[in-house]
Structure 1
């Protein structure tokens, strides 16, 4: 995609190609995951992989701005029941919609306590996802590894947990340091606050969301990645053991690293 894309947002022009986070009115956690250094210091290419909360709400100016990004493939990680209840990304000419659900237990089945701590609670949920949802995580990364599918948007509901794990595994395969992966993941906390403000203003009768649904401390992601390596040896070893072909890792690096 060439040229510079912009739109008017609350009276100001926003350049959608130079900033890692595009400005939307009803998307709160949308951003480009590129720009960080990967293998051999090669940066992850921008405008190839985006992450977001669910885009089912976009309309009007948001829809126009989304279309201008030229996204070819949307990977929806939500449960089938979530898709049925809320709908999916609007249809665009040339857009391929992929619904990939990594199997995982409902969070309500694992009680959260402040004594345990949010980072530990979230890391445990991500461990569970990597255990029961390995096939779905591999399927999502296989799509991301396909250069013809790019630009790709991967999303779930809030864009921080299932999306965070897929993006973390992808960036790790690209050689991005855990600290950079965790820093990107932690940006979802501010996005969750924006979503909470929007929810309170549009649906004041809605109950406040539980703390783990809103937080994304960097420590949660560093715990998850470190413990995944402790169990499997490395992120590539985990994914290959779960069914990812080694040549897909080469393909991923070939089109996502500058």
Structure 2
């Protein structure tokens, strides 16, 4: 049967001529029996039984939490109102996650959670009036939002996953880029939390990723400078041994925003030189994480390190056919000191390079900040 059949039972007309209401019962079509399916084989003439969807309550709310975090992090989606039926369950968990990912301390998060009860007590009449006007049945008054409930939740989260950041990354898929977008969208001055630390062996994969992503970004904009895959882990391990490699993060334990190498000699580009300069290489930023001005501030940190080592010149080079990067360095106070027509770029081959230099003095460069501590904001510029 291709369509449901209808069986109608109707009373006959009454003596007064009134037609009685008909009762209609829908009978579903006869289900076809599918041929038997042998285990492990579904071929011609065999049809697998339909897979029943897994109820949402089994899948949990992780997908909903991930979508909510992404929506909050989207600058174009605001202003937003976060609410729920009681404000203490899913709403309370989501609000706590957002605050903790922003770096708010646990005591403040718990205090924010407990404010749900007093807020509801102030407006019961207005709430019930609005429900009545909208023909919404009055819900059972929810319980309070005790501080102990949130503390137990956070303690269990830390016990199972180590930290809120680990839970968000492993269970919700909230990676560093999403957390950075949250901070950028909701914090008033996210660029003030840029911190610096020396890289170690554990950072080598991150350095390779930063370099390859920067190369792809350049290629996508027609900039002939780097290529993905040119420098692997061996290069960065070698630089950890003979030079300094610095990592910039958003906050002391935040996501990586960028990195750079600081050499104390550069024979390939500058030849033999007296020990009066430091040489900056591979100034790289993560464009999904780094706030505006990260490139300039990493360069300033390199200059402070050079001054601290008793040297007064910061030198670097870039491809001669990259006018955008040359303009960036010129705006930072660097002057052209020559051209190297056959610069040996290692895996990148030979290319024409522009040599740039800046003389450093204590009244021009800000005093050095301790590694791992926030660096106060300077003038924000486009990240190179």
Give the TM interval when normalised to the shorter protein.
Answer: 0.3 to 0.5
Larger Rg: 2
Which structure has more relative contact order (CA 8 Å, sep 6+)? It is: 1
Question: Would you tell me which structure has more helix in proportion to its own residues?
Answer: 1
Tell me the TM-score normalised to structure 1 length: 0.44
Question: Would you tell me which structure has more strand in proportion to its own residues?
Answer: 2
